[in-house]
Amino acid sequence: MPNGSLEARLHPNSASTNQPMRYLSLVQRISIAIDVAMALDYLHNHATDAIIHRDLKPSNVLLDDNMIAHVSDFGLARFLVRHDTMLSQSMTSTNGVKGSIGYIPPEYGMGGQASVQGDLYSYGILVLEMFTGVRPTDERFIDGSSIHNHVAMSVSDQVMDIIDPKMFSVNEVGDMFAHENVYDCLVLVLQCAIMCSKESPRERIAIKEVINQLNSARAKLLR
């Protein structure tokens, strides 16, 4: 894709590219998060058979000419087929945990089957990374902490201390700290990502609710 991957945009210093990279603005990050959520909604709810991606991460999100995000790399994907409204895997899982470290839902490590809830977990971690600028594999989390816990403990009253400040330094946005709705927008987005990345699959919110909340956050920002 012309504008590379989300990985390269979030972490340009580590990206293998000779092209100068501009950091993503707050508005761009919300729009990309919505694009990816809509892609998951299609895969899970509108394809002929539901498709579980199983490897959602920034390097598998590509950006086109208009900075619209596209989910890529379906090498680990699985189909789910419907039988009398029940979902079951149409392909036998191979041995071992599949996915990328930091984005794999905890239930997969305990033998759980691929599920839409698993993709939601990976999506939640991806969104937390997008808005904090911190990878889930960062060394600060080696003591048993996690990016989920890191954000959950700070989102209520210290949100400006944990977000990626680089999203406010691009020309398209200017001084977003002066915008009265920035704080509420960030809290809404991060709370949504926290709900997606809950440890228990049953506690994760549905992708349609994610889309609604993120659209509300973007509308709040653009008022």
Q: Which residues are catalytic?
A: 55
Q: How many whole angstroms separate alpha carbon 80 and alpha carbon 222? A: 38
Residue pair 218/27 in contact (Cβ under 8 Å)? The answer is yes
Maximum Cα interatomic distance, the chain, rounded to a whole number of Å: 54
Long-range own/partner contacts, residues 109-117 (CB < 8 A, 24 or more apart): 112/201, 113/89, 114/52, 114/54, 114/78, 114/80, 114/89, 115/52, 115/201, 116/40, 116/44, 116/50, 116/52, 116/80, 116/207, 117/201, 117/202, 117/204
Residue pair 115/190 in contact (Cβ under 8 Å)? The answer is no
Q: Which one, of 54, 40, 135, 137, lies nearest residue 96 by Cα?
A: 54
Q: Which one, of 168, 195, 177, 174, lies nearest residue 29 by Cα?
A: 168
Q: What 3-state DSSP class applies to 141?
A: helix
Cβ atoms within 10 A of the Cβ of 138, count?
Answer: 16
